[in-house]
Amino acid sequence: MKILLAIDGSPCSNAAVNEVAERPWPAGSEVKIISAMERPVPPMTEPWAMPPDYFEGLEKAARDQAQAAVEGAVTRFGKGAGQKLQVTAEIIEGSPKHVILDEAEQWGADLVVVGSHGYRGLKRLWLGSVSHAVATHAKCSVEIVRCRPSGESKAT
């Protein structure tokens, strides 16, 4: 089974990592961890000049965040109790919605797992919903992992 795990380093993303890492998968299963990194672009033409290294700094911060998320997820799989999963990881530049859908199709994923921030109302309108776009457009099964409110524990 090929499982594509899309992460962004958020608590909801970490919940998705934990869900995949804790499950007993069939022998020979592969997990590909990806994190999409968008290049920063100015929202409109600025009437003033930004410092030359402004966008370089933003891009470096985005890459560092994606790298930390991927490394944390790979470490989490390393702590699995004897799971024999083949785990790979990659940072891909582009819009998360497009990166996840394209990678799932190109890699031949059987399942895509993403976390959901659970945005509602105007936040969802402004920020969009990556999980919704993936669920409605993916050509394979999709699992959306929701965050539990703080203080709520997982039922056993």
Whether pLDDT at 85 is above 80: yes
Domain boundaries, the chain: 2-42+55-146
pTM above 0.85, yes or no: no
DSSP single-letter state for residue 48: S
Would you identify the CATH topology of the domain 2-42+55-146? Answer: Rossmann fold (3.40.50)
User: What does the radius of gyration of the chain's CA atoms come to, in whole angstroms?
Assistant: 17
Arithmetic mean of pLDDT, 121-142: 76
Q: Is the dihedral of CA 19, 21, 24, 29 positive or negative?
A: positive
Among residues 131, 136, 106, the alpha carbon closest in space to that of 16 is found at 131
* Mean pLDDT for the chain overall: 83
CB atoms within 10 A of CB 127: 10
Whether pLDDT at 105 is above 50: yes
